[in-house]
Structure 1
Amino acid sequence: TYTLMLTALLHSLTSKEILQLKRSLINLLITNLVVIFGIGLSQSITAAAKAKPAKVTSIKTLTKDSYRATSGYLYSSAKLTKKVHNADNYPLTTFYTYRSANITRANGNKAVYYYIKNGNGKVKGWIWRGHLVRMINVSKRRQQINQIIGLIDTLSINNRNQIITILESMTKTNTLADLLNQLDLFKSAIPNDADIAKLNEIFQMIKS
């Protein structure tokens, strides 16, 4: 029945209409092939990407410090084959570091990734170190500053005044390395062993 109907339809068409019908069928066939080929190509690319995980060259344990994630993805492993979380969804979440991995990505670029968890451990994964911002423990920093001031007060008068002069000379353009360098130069020039011991302690506190 369908064959007879199709034959009758073709006989009723003009040569021009038959040509247009053929072109439409060809275009439809080409479109379907492109879609099928595109899907196949996409699957091949995905499979290729999964077949090339990052190479982990070393892993070490980190001190548990608090960070915020600014962007990027968290991966289930340091091989970076599976994304488990988008950091954009956790702008106010505090994450804690546990491990560090040196890796070589599939494209050959080297990077450092941290394994992090939130407070309850439900959001966790490996994230590029550059996507993390370290949080400052204000109370701990205040305590350290008070300890540094206390040590400076116990220095001999001349050395105490010299330290204060060095601190006052530091501006916003100076770095922590500049301050440590000045303190190191000053320390090497004083003969007082007791003050040297205190300066070493101050040096380590500032460095930390």
Structure 2
Amino acid sequence: MAVIGVIDYGMGNLHSLGKSLERVAGSDRIEISFDPEKLIRCDKLVLPGVGGVLGCMNELRRLELNDLVIEASQKVPMLGVCLGMQVMLEFSEENGGVPALGLFPGEVVRFPDPPKEGTGERLKVPHMGWNRVRQVRPHPVWDGVPDDSWFYFVHSYHARPKQPEHTIGTSEYVHDFTCAIARDNLVAFQFHPEKSQGAGLRLLSNFAHWDGTV
């Protein structure tokens, strides 16, 4: 029996995510914890998150979890969700600029503000709701998930990876943006798979059964 650890640093929808993982993980156990000694022994890790990058990084450091994430990222399959994806990059322009974990080269940038009335389409920021996701590169987490499936988003910032090969999924809001990234044993989504019904559960199931190889 494998153990999937969900990193609890106080800024994630842990109940919904944990329940969704339990539904798809079979005999694997879900461990929600902020204890680095427990988490480092897990076979897979999930880094969730809602809110802002500055608060996330402050809490990860306060709980001594930032070093855990960096160490574990070199050893076990790891999934980032929403804010958890954003902090996997090097830098976010939020709050005047915040250094992040640096697991992927690149930065996190804000959607542009809507244009003034009468000057164009007024798409609101934050981006909230259902959007299609285009699979631009194959990856085991996409297995059985139809291209252009709908997923649920809530965010004002999005990832801009430096290396195009790290982008495995894109969506469109104001402009095309990266919403899924992967390299080696790491994968992350800007959207919330735990809120995305069948397609989201399939993604979580694929991660739960993924051995970290591509």
Question: What TM-score bracket applies, with the shorter chain setting the length?
Answer: under 0.3
- The structure with the largest alpha-carbon Rg is 1
Query: TM-score if structure 1 supplies the norm length?
Result: 0.20
Tell me: higher relative CO, structure 1 or 2? Use CA pairs within 8 A at least 6 residues apart: 2
Which structure has more strand as a fraction of its residues? 2
Query: TM-score if structure 2 supplies the norm length?
Result: 0.19
